[in-house]
Amino acid sequence: MSLTRTNLAILGLQWGDEGKGKVVDLLSPRFQQVVRFQGGNNAGHTVVVDGQSIALHQVPSGALHPGCFLVVGNGVVLNLEVFQQELDRLRARGFDLAGRLLLSDKAHLILPHHIALDLWREGGANKIGTTGRGIGPAYEMKAGRMGVRLGDLLHPETLADRIRPGYEEVRLRLGEGSGLSSLEAIVDALLRTAEPFLSFIGDTQGHLLTAWERGDSILFEGAQATLLDIDHGTYPFVTSSNCSLGGLFTGTGLPPKALDRILGIAKAYTTRVGAGPFPAELHDALGDRLREVGREFGTTTGRPRRCGWFDAPITAHACRTNGVDGLAIMKLDVLDGLDEVGLIVGYRTGEGTVTTKLPSCAADWKGLKAEVKRFKGWASTRGITDHRQLPAEAQAYLEALAESVEVPVAYLSTGPDRHEGCVYPGTFLEPLLA
């Protein structure tokens, strides 16, 4: 494998919002293909360029680099109206995707009744704090063989028949007076919205297989993260796709041997949005401080994120699930100026024993208390670009963090801008970020 030919996956190791967008954006100039393979517009990647931030939801982060071809794989669910808004925003900033975007004809559409069903459920007792974007219902329809794929847009004469079964089920569920648009109105609006996209729809699997065989470098951009994975996350407080490594292969149609390296992204602390287990959560002024300094408010929904110390057991689980080769630790500078920094090394059970094993059932998370190891704080790491310049206390913290998940640090982010960060010498990232 030549170094310029590394096909790389970038995966979140916590509950999302780790800062994957910055890393993808940094790396994408070295790749010819940048690929999204799961999720939809529940994702929100903020990329900061020259102090200006651009929020992307469905468009792969490589959009800002004219040399990158952007692929939206079959595992993604797409809201075309939102996609159009993203394309318009990018065009207004001078980024045109014409000729370098391909959307899978097998990717599923998010339709208005999916959003209505998501919101209806979230108004009830079983709410899990979704983003309200219709993600769960879109994937349900896919699994229930009632989904509508981008390829169906190329057959407008059968579109209403494709949409009808799922639409009827939702209408029955929501009842009269739900305010749901008529099927005809949904079909008409969809055909209008879809028109500018028709020329972008195609065979992404074939495109990627050819690109791989040709020797293109491919960057796979994960959305959400392992603890939100429908199988390996904190079910049922998860999203509806496989955000961990398996989803990359089903979501693109590429075989595992097309992938060379896996970079896991984690913040130097932990956050989560929505309901669900989170033993590391700080309910005090420290949690508020992390939220304020780290600007921990959702890119997609604006919701305040729950904040806590770095949770080694969940991150170690994510590293093992994904076979992570190296860590990118983000937002270390948010911990600057604290007297003490905590690291969750295990969970104390009701019986008083300490475990690092994650429960499979939501009920078993109840009563687990975070076991915190404390480290001396440091003054500032902001903008440091050589890890040897880090304060000794920050180095000690990072060493303990890497040891606790048994994966070395390959990249460290020390601020929001592109140049604020350190690449660790001797790691597989060094030639890619040199």
Number of Cβ atoms within 10 Å of the Cβ of 361: 10
Q: Nearest residue to ligand IMP, using CB?
A: 274
Q: Which is nearer to ligand IMP, 277 or 313 (CB)?
A: 277
Active-site residue, 203 included: no
Q: How far is the CB of 19 from ligand IMP (least distance, A)?
A: 11
| Positions in the binding site for ligand IMP (CB under 6 A) | 15-17, 42-44, 128-131, 133, 135-136, 223-224, 228, 237, 239-240, 273-274
Q: Out of 17, 229, 325, 333, which one is annotated catalytic? A: 17
Query: In the complex with ligand IMP, which residue's Cβ is closer, 322 or 427?
Result: 322
Contact status, residue 305 vs residue 298, Cβ threshold 8 Å: yes
Nearer to ligand IMP, 138 or 423 (CB): 138
Of 14, 134, 22, 155, give the one whose Cα is nearest residue 78. Answer: 134
d(CA 72, CA 62): 12
CB of 306 to ligand IMP, least distance (A): 10
Cα(370)–Cα(163) distance, rounded to whole angstroms?
Answer: 47
Q: Which is nearer to ligand IMP, 25 or 325 (CB)?
A: 25
CB of 130 to ligand IMP, least distance (A): 4
Structural tokens at position 389? 């310049």
- Residue closer to ligand IMP, measured from CB, 136 or 415: 136
- How near is the Cβ of 230 to ligand IMP at its closest, in Å? 10
284 tagged catalytic: no
Sign (positive/negative) of CA torsion 335, 339, 344, 345? positive
What one-letter code names the amino acid at 196? P
Beta carbon of residue 56, minimum distance to ligand IMP (angstroms, whole number): 11
Q: Taking a C-beta distance cutoff of 8 angstroms, is the pair 138, 58 a contact?
A: no
- In the chain, the amino acid numbered 326 is G
Q: Which is nearer to ligand IMP, 44 or 251 (CB)?
A: 44
The CA distance from 368 to 205, in Å, is 43
Catalytic residue among 25, 45, 113, 114: 45
Cα-based distances in Å from 367 to 236, 274, 286: 18, 19, 22
182 φ/ψ sector (left φ>0, alpha ψ -120 to 50, else beta): beta
DSSP bridge pairs for 9: 220, 262
Half-sphere exposure (Cβ direction) of 377: Cα atoms closer than 13 Å = 12
Distance from C-alpha of 207 to C-alpha of 187, rounded to nearest angstrom = 29
* Percentages (nearest 5) of helix, strand, coil residues in the chain: 40, 20, 40
Least gap, CB of 241 to ligand IMP (angstroms): 8
Catalytically active residues, by annotation: 17, 45
